[in-house]
Structure 1
Amino acid sequence: MAEHKHGSMDTKEQEKTFDGFIRLVTWGSVISIGVLIFMALANG
C-alpha cells in the first residue's frame, strides 16, 4: 500500500472546479432573481 503524506496532494484542479461551480450557482441565482423581479413587475 502506498504511503500517504498529509498535505501533499495537488488540489489545483479541485479548486478550479469548485470556483466554476460557485460562479455557476451565483449566475444562476442572479438570473433567477432577475426573472422573478421581471415577472412581478410585468404582472403587476
Structure 2
Amino acid sequence: MADSKYEHGSMDISVQEKTFDGFIRMVTWGAVISILLLIFIGLVNG
C-alpha cells in the first residue's frame, strides 16, 4: 500500500476555512436583512 505516513492535523485547510468564514458571513447578513425586512413590513402595515 502507501508508504507515506499521515499525521493528523497536517493538511492545509486554509481554503476550507476561508470558504466556511464566507458562508457564515453570508448566513449572518441574510438573517440580519431578513429580520430588518420583517420589522419594516410590520411597521408599514401596522
TM-score normalised over the length of structure 1: 0.89
> What runs of 5+ residues in structure 2 fail to find an aligned partner?
none
Aligned residues: 44
- State which structure, 1 or 2, has the greater radius of gyration over its C-alpha atoms: 2
State, as a whole percentage, how many aligned pairs show the same letter. Answer: 66
Mapped to 2, the partners of 1:3 and 1:42 lie a distance apart of 64
TM-score normalised over the length of structure 2: 0.86
1:10, distance to aligned residue in structure 2 (A): 0.4
1:19 to 9, 18, 21: 21
> What runs of 5+ residues in structure 1 fail to find an aligned partner?
none
CA RMSD, Structure 1 to Structure 2 (Å):
1.0
